Structure 1
Amino acid sequence: MKYDIIIVGGGPIGIACFIEAKKNNLSALILEKGTITNSIYNYPLDMTFFSTSEKLTINDIPFNCIAPKPGRKEALEYYRNVANYYDININLYEEVLTIDKSDYFTVTTSKNTYFSDNIILATGFYDIPHLLGVEGENLPIVSHYYKEAHPYAFQNIVVIGANNSAVDAALECYRKGANVTLIVRGSEFTSRLKYWVKPDIENRIKEGAIKAYFNSTVEKISHTSITVQSNHETITIETDHILAMTGYEPNFNFLERAGVLLQDDGYKTPFYNPETMETNVKDLYLAGVVSGGLQTNIWFIENSRVHASQIINHIQSK
């Protein structure tokens, strides 16, 4: 079957694009390589969103939440219900392998081949960790994903990073009995740190419950330790586990294979028209966080929901 639109990625923004297409009587299909809202599913079990529930809504469907800010479990429930309500056409566990353009797009997946007049890439950024690029990073002692604190109870762990994911992991593991050391590249935590978490981590460091090294970079990792350059001093820390919460990045290789050009701006920002979200490839659009390249802090669910209407309006205008 040939569709008006194929959407790659079944996260909140991909769902929003499908709903907007359906409202405009355009045939659409979502192709998702994992489960629905796969990135949110892979978030830490007890993660709390920075945004309030009303800023995470799609198409004005209410997001009921008892707490001031929703967590992972509530978000999964909400987006599942939205997908069910709009009867979205989505193929799960079907990875897109190639996108080829002639008079229309040919999309080859791990299971089938599809055709479409337009493509929307809403692929997010959570699948590929931003690597440290140091010796020993591929050892079993290192993980770039954090699910819950229990496996690290009563263990020596090192957490690398200055963002919310690193601080959340450090605090949760500390409270489950882990001996936690934080490695931060800069002189302080990111300014985007959740306001209710910032005083907590600062006080734990001040009282010595969590040890922190600022202005520090990782030099190498072994099976039992991590070597850090901190304020012109080389320090080796014995550890059982390392949580490298250094962020994630879009699948740039996939974008380039689809024909999308990346800017030489230090962030690999894809080329697109900010008014229409159309890339340098005619009829191929970007939606959501993938639009920011390595600047994954620019686009969120709450401010990229508008991409759906921008894209569909442009498709309709043609």
Structure 2
Amino acid sequence: MKHYDIIIIGGGPIGLACGIEAKKASLSYLILEKGALVNSLYNYPLNMTFFSTSERLEIGNVPFMSINSKPTRIEALEYYRRVTKQWELNIHLFEEVKGFEKTGVNYEIKSSKTEYTAENVIIATGFYDIPNLMNVSGEDLPKVTHYYKDPNFYAFQKVLVVGANNSAVDAAMETWRKGAKVTMVIREEGIGERVKYWVKPDIENRIKEGSITAHFSSQIKEIREKEVVISTPEGEKVIENDWVIAMTGYQPNLPFLQSLGINLSKDEIMKPQYSDESMETNLPNVYLAGVVCGGMNTHSLFIENSRVHAEQIVKAILEKRS
């Protein structure tokens, strides 16, 4: 088995940042990513625009040049590819970590392809892989998706969008502009406060003029082959429907953390236990980085405010060694 000072689980922006810091400190490391490079960003909607400006997404002192002040998904993919190439990061793609266990002073890591040993493990697995389910009849029908990609697919179709935050609003606006008949089902009384400030007036005006139908304080009761049943303040409604885009949010793989022995808080946030200073968990020499640190509170951490985790972790590892 090949041995490393650090195994980094997750090849997103924060995982890459951890690899950069390890390389700067002359520590041997390997990044293991179960999908494509920055897999979560790859699976974002094709036309997505970040809320953050480009400089707030930078890692490794590599400038992020964007045509506009807010970079797009495709610009981010190209940027992190260039970062990976420029730093010549040691990364294995499409290799999933199945688990690890302590063996003496090291950890033995088992992946989908082989096994490794490492003195330290950094978990930077993000939160985009597990959607929050609605738990309604018909949610498993082929016409229901929790991931939205390309609006052209829905041209001239009857589309129902669930949710009122950025992903839902983008899906509603983009599919409507491609000719879809769009209905939104929203649990709250209005469009989410976190919606991008340049988009929020647009969706509210489309709803106000009747171009997009929105049912507030409502939820889906049942999904059928050609229609959807909705519970609204005015009573139950049945609407014709071809596709359901359920933008209900996502959650980190907390069962994976639990299977490793990392403690989670007992409340609904289920926040992992770690040191705010070193990012070390209750497991010695096992660290967390990025959005996964927030547990179910996935809106508390972003690329821009968790880049520093990489520096904190490598600093802690070096201090232990000294």
**SS across alignment from 1:268:** coil
Please point out which of 283, 306, 312 is paired with 2:314: 312
- Equivalent residues of 1:99, 1:257 under 8 A apart: no
> 2:69 corresponds to which letter in structure 1?
P
Please point out which of 284, 288, 291 is paired with 2:290: 288
Deviation at 1:108, TM superposition (A): 0.5
Counterpart Cα distance in 2 of 1:20 and 1:192: 32
**SS across alignment from 1:290:** helix
Match of 2:18 in 1: 17
Match of 2:146 in 1: 144
Please point out which of 142, 162, 168 is paired with 1:160: 162
Counterpart Cα distance in 2 of 1:9 and 1:259: 18
- Equivalent residues of 1:152, 1:178 under 8 A apart: yes
Match of 1:62 in 2: 63
Counterpart Cα distance in 1 of 2:238 and 2:310: 49
Counterpart Cα distance in 2 of 1:177 and 1:131: 27
- Equivalent residues of 1:159, 1:181 under 8 A apart: yes
Match of 2:32 in 1: 31
Deviation at 1:102, TM superposition (A): 2.8
- Equivalent residues of 1:124, 1:288 under 8 A apart: yes
Counterpart Cα distance in 1 of 2:266 and 2:10: 26
- Equivalent residues of 1:119, 1:285 under 8 A apart: yes
Moved more, 19-28 or 225-234: 225-234
Match of 2:239 in 1: 237
Cα deviation digits, residues 215-246 of structure 1 (max 9, x gap): 01221111112211111611122100000000
Counterpart Cα distance in 1 of 2:138 and 2:271: 29
- Equivalent residues of 2:60, 2:83 under 8 A apart: no
Match of 1:169 in 2: 171
**SS across alignment from 1:302:** helix
Q: Is 1:102 aligned with 2:138?
A: no
Inter-CA distance 78–234: structure 2 relative to 1 (3 Å threshold): same
Counterpart Cα distance in 2 of 1:272 and 1:59: 24
Cα deviation digits, residues 131-161 of structure 1 (max 9, x gap): 1111111111100000010111001010001
Counterpart Cα distance in 2 of 1:265 and 1:282: 24
Match of 1:120 in 2: 122
Counterpart Cα distance in 2 of 1:3 and 1:232: 61
User: TM-score with structure 2 length normalisation?
Assistant: 0.97
Match of 1:277 in 2: 279
Counterpart Cα distance in 2 of 1:120 and 1:225: 46
Please point out which of 190, 209, 223 is paired with 1:207: 209
Cα deviation digits, residues 87-145 of structure 1 (max 9, x gap): 00001110111111232111001100000011000001111111111111111110000
Is there any run of 5+ residues in structure 2 with no aligned partner, and where?
none
Please point out which of 213, 220, 223 is paired with 1:221: 223
- Equivalent residues of 2:166, 2:195 under 8 A apart: yes
Counterpart Cα distance in 2 of 1:163 and 1:128: 17
Is there any run of 5+ residues in structure 1 with no aligned partner, and where?
none
Cα deviation digits, residues 230-272 of structure 1 (max 9, x gap): 1161112210000000011111121111111111121111111
